[in-house]
Amino acid sequence: MKVLIIEDEQPAAEKLKRYLLKHDPTIEICSTLTSVESSIKWLNTNQGVLDLIFMDIQLEDGLSFEIFSSIKVNTPVIFTTAYDEYAIDAFKVNSIDYLLKPITY
């Protein structure tokens, strides 16, 4: 399974990586991105190789929902955030789950 992590907090990204690889060591983390801008650029050229995206909502340069306004995201998304007020918005895009931080194994 090929996974993209979009998370601007380094400790949270590292923790998610550890949990994913503990669950399935064959998971390939294709990239870890920290901003809306870098995510749009990366997804424009690489989205076709992904099976799943883990995406925080608050990124260093805005809300991740801006990604969906800029490009069509066909890959299933699991939102990982500390904010419960965005759950409805998350399911209006290609979201399959909504995990509240702190995430535990």
CB atoms within 10 A of CB 64: 25
Q: Which residues contact 38 (CB under 8 A, 6 or more apart)?
A: none
What is the model's pLDDT at position 84?
Answer: 87
29-87 per-position pLDDT tens digit = 999 999 999 999 999 999 999 999 999 999 999 999 999 999 999 999 999 999 889 99
| Closest-CA residue to 6 (of 28, 49, 27, 37) | 37
pTM: 0.94
pLDDT at 105 over 90: no
